[in-house]
Amino acid sequence: MATGQLFSKTTQALFYNYKQLPIQRMLDFDFLCGRETPSVAGIINPGSDGFQKLFFGQEEIAIPVYPTIEAASNAHPTADVFINFASFRSAAASSMSALKQPTIRVVAIIAEGVPESDAKQLISYARANNKVIIGPATVGGIQAGAFKIGDTAGTIDNIIQCKLYRPGSVGFVSKSGGMSNEMYNTIARVTDGIYEGIAIGGDVFPGSTLSDHILRFNNIPQVKMMVVLGELGGKDEYSLVEALKQGKVQKPVVAWVSGTCARLFKSEVQFGHAGAKSGGELESAQAKNQALKEAGAIVPTSYEALESAIKETFDKLLEEGKISPVAETTPPLIPEDLKTAIKSGKVRAPTHIISTISDDRGEEPCYAGVPMSTIIEKGYGVGDVISLLWFKRSLPRYCTQFIEICIMLCADHGPCVSGAHNSIVTARAGKDLVSSLVSGLLTIGPRFGGAIDDAARYFKDACDRGLTPYEFVEGMKKKGIRVPGIGHRIKSRDNRDKRVQLLQKYAHTHFPSVKYMEYAVQVETYTLSKANNLVLNVDGAIGSLFLDLLSGSGMFTKQEIDEIVEIGYLNGLFVLARSIGLIGHTFDQKRLKQPLYRHPWEDVLYTK
């Protein structure tokens, strides 16, 4: 491996398996370091493509998303780092695919628990093809002031405190990602900070070793000293011992192997990492620390003394003139996300939507303040849900049952009415359910099913003003307006609409008052004297009875009733109900595999 620097201020990466937070942290670090271009060139989300919006400082940018590693690599040939956030189940396959891309030079595998046999295959392939693996089970790595992998070094506040926004003189390598963050802080307190830091990962078979990176650091002129943090278990540290003994490392190495407390336990102890388990004296922290010390590394007597050892080594290099003091700079401020700023009380922002009927922020959704579990436990029906979501209150059961009856009675009226006809024709044209449903719904209006609101509006106005049926009907005639809710193409005096009769019977039995319905019947009596088919239709029945429901329940003010009628609540009942039938017709045509509909020419009057 050896060679030198892995990253630079122009390094770009491909990010596998979209994770918003680590990508945004990378971009915030880029901005903090003064990079001209974002370090994330593209995102690979299997099966998806498009763009993801993120921030680069104050500017919102769109990072392209690709469905495959090959597509992303071809689109960004200069992106030579692959950051793999796949789960342990798919990390090996995706990492191997990345290693096989000629443009990819470094692969970072974040997942822990990658099968050891898979890890060995990845390592073998990488070494044979002169490529670098960081991980598995790693947080990644960082080159101060230039590039970082994912969540390395944590939050922006920690990065600034550790002076990672500009390069220092220390090369650091560790097995642990968590301890890396701690050590960045420690090193920043007593030196000019790190130049590069790598966490090789805590699995038994890491893709690269401690000595691999120390030998790299030795070849980087800007790195003047190295710090190593190992751990008990495995024999990785001994490759570093051999390198030190063979004189391959010419720069000071301060090292500590954690896990000396293991001897206090009577039985073998497994620490956090898969590889942190002592399998014998040679793998103990004490044996490794002793071997490193004998090979020439600077090894303190305890972890607590590590900071002092680092300081003494750095100060000595400073005195010898091997390190020049770093000019401190003030990093730019990273704009705070609006959500964070609002949560901390720093800013206030207007909302864009007001909602009073439902709330999904708690443990369960609520309809008008009633939890979903209560709706189920109390056996609420569809009418009860409509009363909550439409009227923002729990109406009496006779009201909600009336709503349900209206829905059942208006669900369908055969295949010949305009709405059903449209849905059938659309379904037979091979269109999807939503398209077929909408084509039928678009026919609802003043001439088909959409007269409920108008019927309620005109009946209420006439009744409240005390107009006689004669005055009402003749007044409408003078205005050139047909009376909504009166008249039917098929039904007549001698062939009454059964739906109207059922609604009237229910209202007489359950409603405290049927004033508006009685007025509508008086109007019907007058209109029947003019023509046999000017009967009260289902629109007029529902419109007048809904007025009785609203006024008779005692739960609505006059102003609220007027608003409900004006907004279009009552037509909403027909739209909701008829959607059931239109969906049924759509399914029926598709189930029957009906061909494209063409209207017969003999049913068309061709004229000039």
Instruction: Report, as residue numbers or ranges, the catalytic residues.
Output: 273
**Ranges of H-type helices in 230-300:** 236-245, 285-295
Dihedral sign for Cα atoms in the order 204, 207, 212, 216: negative
**Nearest 5°: phi and psi at 194?**
-90, 155
SS (H, E, C) 5-51: CCCCCCCCEEEECCCHHHHHHHHHHHHHHCCCCCCEEEEECCCCCEE
Cα torsion through 25, 27, 29, 30, rounded to 10: 170
Q: Give the Cα separation of 182 and 161 in Å (integer).
A: 11
Contacts for 166 with CB less than 8 Å, ≥ 6 apart: 33, 144, 145, 193, 326, 329, 331
Neighbours of 99 (CB within 10 A): 22
The tokens of 69 are what?
């590693």
Q: Are strands 106-109 and 132-134 parallel, antiparallel or unpaired?
A: parallel
User: Which tokens belong to 489?
Assistant: 């193409």
3 state SS of 336:
coil
- At residue 58, the 3 state secondary structure works out as coil
Q: At what angle do helices 538-552 and 515-528 cross, to 10 degrees?
A: 150
Q: In the numeric block, which tokens belong to residue 574?
A: 């027909």
| Length of the chain (residues) | 608
d(Cα 484, Cα 450) in Å, to the nearest integer? 9
Q: Could you give the count of Cα atoms lying within 13 Å of 216 in the half-sphere of its Cβ?
A: 21
The SS3 assignment for 114 reads coil
CA distance 250 to 230: 20
Question: Contact at 8 Å (CB) between 11 and 80?
Answer: yes
Which of 259, 10, 275 lies closest to 138 in space, CA to CA? 275
C-alpha torsion angle, residues 571, 572, 576, 582 (rounded to 10): 50
CA distance linking residue 341 with residue 330, whole number of Å: 22
